[in-house]
Structure formats: structure tokens, C-alpha cells
Amino acid sequence: MGEKTIPVLPCQTLLPVLDFYVALGFEVTFQQRSPHPYAVVERGGIQLHFFGMKHYEPASSYSTCVVRTDDVDRLHAEFRSGLKAVYGRVPSRGLPRIGALRDTSHGVRQFLVTDPGGNCLRVGQPIGQDLHHRAAPKDPFGKALHHAALLADSKEDPEGAARVLDRALRGEGKTPSPAQLFRLLVLRGDVALRLGDDSAAAAFLAQAAALDLTPGEREAVRDDLGRLEEMPG
């Protein structure tokens, strides 16, 4: 069987969307202006189609598609590098933006990238056979990290993630492990950046960077260390 599914995604105007995908390493393989705006971009085995809608609102978009890869770390690094070369920075909030790379609770190593048209690509690599969401850990800090990561990176609700993380960081008589504290602070700094609170982000990230972690703890928070290094401040 030779079937293939290709997403057709909306945008207000084609040019900024096409420029964005060129920055990610895609090639524009087709473009027309009439009878209606339409274009195709391709990169390796990824093919995306776009159509123009004059009154479309990118900020209100729910358009999304899943991209499966066998090397998500490489794609994330190459996408970030391409965006930085073209935009002069790696956009992490607003439109367009690219999110952090992490292992999700549903067995996929994933990052989200959202184009100027508001279309979200969930780029992931399966790391397990069961794609159902795992139950949250029992301990309060693991539970907070679980729910905050879902809110920040899957539901794109940084305000909700901030509330969960702030409750966890207050401790309420309990103390997180050094690795948990590091992860809480890095994610809280990331969320603050997305909310436009750069001074709070710098404070959270500075606290994280000041923690003295053992080699074993550093290995346990490897993705979060990478996240800290990628963020400004």
C-alpha cells in the first residue's frame, strides 16, 4: 500500500511562514498566488502544505500535526541553529517559537515548534512501546514537575505551570532533592521567560545554576542542564 498523509495547514499570509520553514532547513517546492494562495515545503521525509486565509488569526490557531523522527535530538539542534542564524535569536515565546526538548510522560521524546501562522508541529521520537500517559509520581515534587511540564510543553499554558511550580517551590514543610529542585527552578525560569518576566526568569535560572550537583544528579537532569544552557540570562 502506498498511502501517505500530508497535513494542509492554514496561515494568514504565506511569505513569513515559508521564510520560517526555510530557516528550519526546508525547501519551498511549490507556490502559487491564484486562484488561491498555496505552497508546499519539504525537508527529508517531512512535507507540509499551506493555504492562505485573509481573515485567519494565527494567535487563535489550534492547527497542529505530529512529525515522527528517529533522531529528534539532531532535528531540535538543527532547527534551533537555523532559527538563530536567520532571526538572530532562538524564539521561545510568541509567534514563531520553538520549545524545549524533553522526554514526555507518554513515551515520546519531543519538542514543539510553532510557525508564524500559529501551526504547531509536535516533533517526536518514540522511546517506549506504550503511548498512554503515565500516572503522576506519588511524591509532591515529582508530581508537580509532571503536571507543570504537561501544562507548559503540551498544553502551552505557562500561567498554569507557574502556579504549580510556585506551590512546589514554597515547599510547605517538605524539601525536594537537589535534582528535583534543579528541575523545578529551570522549568520555572523557562515559564517566566514565556510569560515575559525576564527578571524573574534570571533569578530562577541563577538559583539553578548555583546548585552543586553530583555527577549522578547531573546525569539525571541532563535535559534540564541543556535547557538551562539554551536559555538567556
On whether both 168 and 226 belong to a single domain, the answer is yes
CA-closest candidate to residue 41, choices 50, 32, 52, 54: 50
On whether both 166 and 82 belong to a single domain, the answer is no
Query: Which residue segment(s) compose the domain that 105 sits in?
Result: 8-125
Do the domain assignments include residue 140?
A: yes
Do the domain assignments include residue 76?
A: yes
pLDDT for 130-140, tens place per residue? 778 788 889 99
Do the domain assignments include residue 2?
A: no
The total number of structural domains that make up the chain: 2
Q: What is the pLDDT of residue 2?
A: 85
On whether both 105 and 155 belong to a single domain, the answer is no
48 with 66: CB under 8 angstroms?
Answer: no
Domain stops at, among 76, 92, 125 = 125
CA distance 193 to 178: 23
CA distance 42 to 25: 9
CATH number for the domain spanning 43: value is 3.10.180.10
User: What is the full per-residue pLDDT of the chain (233 aa) written as tens digits?
Assistant: 789 999 999 999 999 999 999 999 999 999 999 999 999 999 999 999 999 999 999 999 999 999 999 999 999 999 999 999 999 999 988 999 998 898 988 889 999 999 999 999 999 999 988 778 788 889 999 999 999 998 988 788 999 999 999 999 998 778 999 999 999 999 999 999 989 999 999 999 999 999 999 999 999 999 999 989 888 75
117 with 92: CB under 8 angstroms?
Answer: no
Q: What is the pLDDT of residue 233?
A: 56
On whether both 175 and 113 belong to a single domain, the answer is no
CATH number for the domain spanning 204: value is 1.25.40
All three cell numbers of 202? 534570571
CA distance 45 to 60: 28
Q: What one-character DSSP code corresponds to residue 135?
A: P
Q: What is the pLDDT of residue 220?
A: 93
On whether both 54 and 149 belong to a single domain, the answer is no
On whether both 32 and 103 belong to a single domain, the answer is yes
On whether both 70 and 13 belong to a single domain, the answer is yes
202 with 208: CB under 8 angstroms?
Answer: no
